[in-house]
Structure 1
Amino acid sequence: MQLRDTLGLDEKRAIIQSARDRLHFSSGEDLVVEGDRPMRCVLVTSGFACRYRLLPSGERQIMAIHLPGDFVDLHSFLLKEMDHSVGALTECTAVGFPHESLLQVTERFPHLTRMLWLMTLIDAAGHREWLIGLGLLSAPQRTARLFCEIYKRLEIVGLARDHEFRFPVTQVAMGDALGISAVHVNRVVQELRQQDLITWERGTVRILDWSRLVATGQFSDRYLHLVREPR
């Protein structure tokens, strides 16, 4: 939240005191499951998670990748029943915020209410961007755009620098996010590597030419709303 607006001391204290459970999830484990009626919202503190839907056929579509600092299910605070699942792509740690505590926070601090609302609006902006990618861009363009997004989001929370970041997810997960097969992911990554745009080895991505990668993916970070201003 503090990346996008200044929080007062009382607001920071209220958020910290609202945190209850310290949670740990293994890779492949669900943080929350479609159909659940959670009594808490979960904030990722380390690792990578994903928002996804599983079809009756067993096919999975990943709709967002969550990083440290992301609330993965703020929607459950008001929607009550989950209409999708959130799973761990890697080992994850997280903090649980009981809905009862968040209710008290939102009733006492209107500014924090707006900031939590902002988090869901930015989630929605990300979904719109992914929809554009799946509908209009080629597989190499979508892949380039995803690498750009993950880098920018990790950079703002201090987990990426000098165009290099840890991204230890499987090609199967990448395929489920990009709407292509794992085999196709491998071919696309090789293509980006041959163009001297990226390397991806042992879970580390290195962007070799940021400007060209941005151009390839037609990427703009406007939808991330990174400007810090009064909300």
Structure 2
Amino acid sequence: MRSYNARADIVRDGDQSHECCLVLTGFVHRSKLLKDGRRQILSFHTPGDMPDLQGLHLPVMDHSVCTLMRTTAAFIEHAAVRQITREHPGIAEAFWRDTLVDAAIFREWMTGLGQRDARERVTHLLCEISLRLRGVGLATEAGFSFPATQTDIGDALGLSTVHVNRVLQGLRGDGLVRGNLTALTILDWQGLQAAGDFDPTYLQQRPKEAKGGETSGHASLGSAQAVH
């Protein structure tokens, strides 16, 4: 286990990977830096995710994994991961499912960058983060806390910080949300989904059984289920 301060590199673009990282607490993102310093955030990751699982088969990193806040991660040697997947096919299946869900999220982000306007992009991301955090018990339907800045959101969605700020102001003005990213209250979930053209199918969340056998209103992502 290792602990990192906020805005620290866990692994850098070009590093040779010998172990997989499991996020225990905190939040991380994957990103790519251009030569002139411009940054593209490729994904956000919650506790329970293994953001560099692909390093098991692609030993040289083609992007960086960085923290958004103080984060604790566990590291598992590739040899140990290979051994456990050989001995336990169910774990191998869970890892395979995790990579497929990861790819689905990438496809959805690519669609947003290419076809959605700024309001739709920001709102769609808020809906995604809300459901993913609910899936690991870090949010409720009423809202969530996310340590990303407006600059981070802009770098993820191809928008300027000013544009992200305007969109968030508009969502507050329309009565869909209240507060900011570190303490966001969702006032109208259905309205937020409609504004972002959000269909959660790509997250492939599985309903979990509540007490008494009833299906709860939120679910865990495959990656979190694989870990827990």
TM category (shorter chain) comes to 0.7 to 0.9
Choose from 69, 74, 81 the match for 2:53. 74
Deviation at 1:149, TM superposition (A): 0.3
> Distance between the aligned counterparts of 1:72 and 1:24, measured in 2?
16
Equivalent pair of 1:89/1:173 in contact (CA under 8 Å)? no
Taking structure 2 as the reference length, what is the TM-score of the superposition?
0.88
Deviation at 1:80, TM superposition (A): 0.8
Number of the residue aligned with 2:90: 111
Choose from 183, 191, 194 the match for 2:170. 191
The amino acid that maps onto 2:148 is V
- Post-superposition Cα deviations, 1:119-167, rounded to whole Å, max 9, x if no partner, equal 1111111000000111111111111101100010010111111321111
Number of the residue aligned with 1:16: none
Aligned residues: 209
> Distance between the aligned counterparts of 1:182 and 1:47, measured in 2?
23
Query: 2:196 matched to 1:217?
Result: yes
What is the SS of the residue equivalent to 1:90?
Answer: coil
> Distance between the aligned counterparts of 2:153 and 2:181, measured in 1?
15
Query: 2:67 matched to 1:94?
Result: no
What is the SS of the residue equivalent to 2:57?
Answer: helix
Number of the residue aligned with 1:144: 123
Gaps of 5+ in 2: 209-225
> Distance between the aligned counterparts of 1:79 and 1:28, measured in 2?
25
Query: 2:187 matched to 1:208?
Result: yes
> How big is the alpha-carbon RMSD for the aligned residues of Structure 1 and Structure 2?
1.6
Shift in CA distance, 228/114, structure 1 to aligned 2, threshold 3 Å: farther
The amino acid that maps onto 1:199 is R
Equivalent pair of 2:22/2:75 in contact (CA under 8 Å)? yes
> Distance between the aligned counterparts of 2:176 and 2:54, measured in 1?
36
- Post-superposition Cα deviations, 1:46-105, rounded to whole Å, max 9, x if no partner, equal 111111110112100111111111101000000111111111111111111111110110
What is the SS of the residue equivalent to 1:160?
Answer: coil
> Distance between the aligned counterparts of 2:160 and 2:88, measured in 1?
46
The amino acid that maps onto 1:95 is A
Shift in CA distance, 202/131, structure 1 to aligned 2, threshold 3 Å: closer
